[in-house]
Amino acid sequence: MEATLPTSSEKRLAPMPRGQHWLFGSFLPVRNDLLNFYTRAFREMGDIIRFRGLPGLYWHLVLHPSHVEHVLLRNQQNYRKGKVFDGPIGLITGNGLLTSDGDFWRRQRKLMQPSFHRQALAGFAATMTEETEKLLPRWDALAAQGAPFDIAQDMAALTLSIAGLTLFSTPVGEEADAFGRSLRLAFDFVGFKMRPTLPVPLWVPTPANLRFKAARRRLDATVYRIIETRRKQLAPPPDLLSMLMAARDEETGAGMSDEQLRDEIITLLLAGHETTAITLTWAAYILTQEPAVAERLHDEAASVLRGAAPTADDLRRMPYARMVIEETMRLYPPAWGLPREAINDDEIGGYHIPGRTLVALNQFLTHRHPDFWEDPERFDPERFTPERAAARPMFAYFPFGGGQRVCIGSQFALMEAALVLARLAQRYRIRLAPQHPIEFDTMFTLRPKHGVQVIFERRA
């Protein structure tokens, strides 16, 4: 059949996959297995795909780097995060940087940006290394016994304690104390709420809602107590909270209120610790699968560090560690999808995008796009040499998002991940425990569903 080209007044609609349910559209496959559903759709339909939810409700999956650039950068003023994102996350972060919008967000971002500059962050490298050193006796003992353990849990505990110390100089153990437990419970609840489920408002006294509210109350009480103590301190410790408290609006001279500080602290905890833990967990998994990468990483760390723990300065001489982290986040992007809402009608790749509809970006699929990545499933850190990175379209790779809402903590995360990974590769050989299954849990971030059971062997 001959295709009819639309006239200039007609809106060209993006292709839809066949076989959508007459009533629920794509709701069920999205709910059951979003990543596989999107992967199949991408293979069958290409770079931009239209899906239907309930009758009359449409959304688009947008995967071509130049279209991603359109949404995140060139036409970013037409896209906001929208309810899918702000609703669930806002339950815990309030009006923090991740979920606020407009002038309020702009002011906060300006106030917070200087605290995340590379130089300001260098002071945190020592904390990152010290916390890693505390794990070494445990890892040495496990290595001596040849005992398998879940590295995902160790990484979660490590990045959480680093976050607690660098943010507000307070140790917050993963499971050991009430704060750590409340945090995990609250974050899991947010993950659950991000899935397409029946919208049960928070005021309905379901057990899950009640548990979440109790956890949030405990977190608030702790954070407000820390802020109150800090306001009275004459010589506050040099952490992110002190930097945020000292930040002043250029025009008005005003600082942040206690409530604002609370929202930002919880936001930074939420946005910062699990994403970095997952990156490190997948990187450790990669070392079990790619012996050549593990050896090269070890050689680099051994020659630069000569047995000592790494510093921020050492990282400059360890480019391979950074490339391994970057390639890990290509294949396993912790934030594996980014939802946006079109404010007004738009056109992407020649297709009509109606205003007030969802546009889903997806790092997992764009990072494996065969037109931009040769042999995309292969792990190859060489893709991240400066020359090869510069030769690619900017948005073929966007683990930290892009445009004005790009991750404020990217340098923090890259520094932390490289410091920990270098120490790991320098000291241990890592094997995957026999029969350990690796599957994705896409609930919120891209976690390994069953953790990653590894066996360490201490290097000579």
Q: Hey, CA dihedral for 386, 391, 395, 399, is it positive or negative? A: negative
Amino acid identity, position 460: A
Pair of tokens at residue 452: 């990653």
Closest residue to bound ligand HEM by CB: 409
Binder among 241, 287, 413, 422 for ligand HEM (CB under 6 A): 413
| Site size for ligand HEM (CB under 6 A) | 23
- Is position 334 an interface residue for ligand HEM (rule: CB under 6 A)? yes
Q: Which is nearer to ligand HEM, 29 or 96 (CB)?
A: 96
Binder among 407, 418, 421, 424 for ligand HEM (CB under 6 A): 407
Binder among 260, 279, 288, 442 for ligand HEM (CB under 6 A): 279
If one counts every other C-beta atom within 10 angstroms of the C-beta of residue 369, the result is: 18
Distances (CA, A) of 299 to 5, 105, 384, 403: 59, 44, 19, 36
- Is position 415 an interface residue for ligand HEM (rule: CB under 6 A)? no
Helical ranges in 196-257 per DSSP H: 207-232, 240-246
> CA 178, CA 367: separation in Å to the nearest integer?
38
- Is position 409 an interface residue for ligand HEM (rule: CB under 6 A)? yes
Pair of tokens at residue 348: 């992407």
Only one of the segments 207-215, 226-234, 255-263, 264-272 lies at the binding site for ligand HEM (rule: CB under 6 A); that segment is 264-272
> CA 329, CA 283: separation in Å to the nearest integer?
9
Binder among 98, 266, 312, 421 for ligand HEM (CB under 6 A): 98
Kindly tell me the burial class for residue 157, based on how many C-beta atoms sit within 10 Å of its own C-beta (0-12, 13-18, 19 or more): buried
- Is position 191 an interface residue for ligand HEM (rule: CB under 6 A)? no
Q: Least CB distance from residue 415 to ligand HEM, whole Å?
A: 9
Binder among 30, 97, 162, 190 for ligand HEM (CB under 6 A): 97
> CA 206, CA 190: separation in Å to the nearest integer?
15
Q: Least CB distance from residue 274 to ligand HEM, whole Å?
A: 9
Binder among 338, 359, 422, 430 for ligand HEM (CB under 6 A): 338
- Is position 337 an interface residue for ligand HEM (rule: CB under 6 A)? no
Pair of tokens at residue 99: 């979920």
Secondary structure letter of residue 108 according to DSSP: H
Block residue for tokens 């969802």? 358
Q: Least CB distance from residue 408 to ligand HEM, whole Å?
A: 5
Contacts with ligand HEM by CB under 6 A lie at: 81, 97-98, 109, 267-268, 271-272, 275-276, 279, 334-335, 338, 399-401, 405, 407-409, 412-413
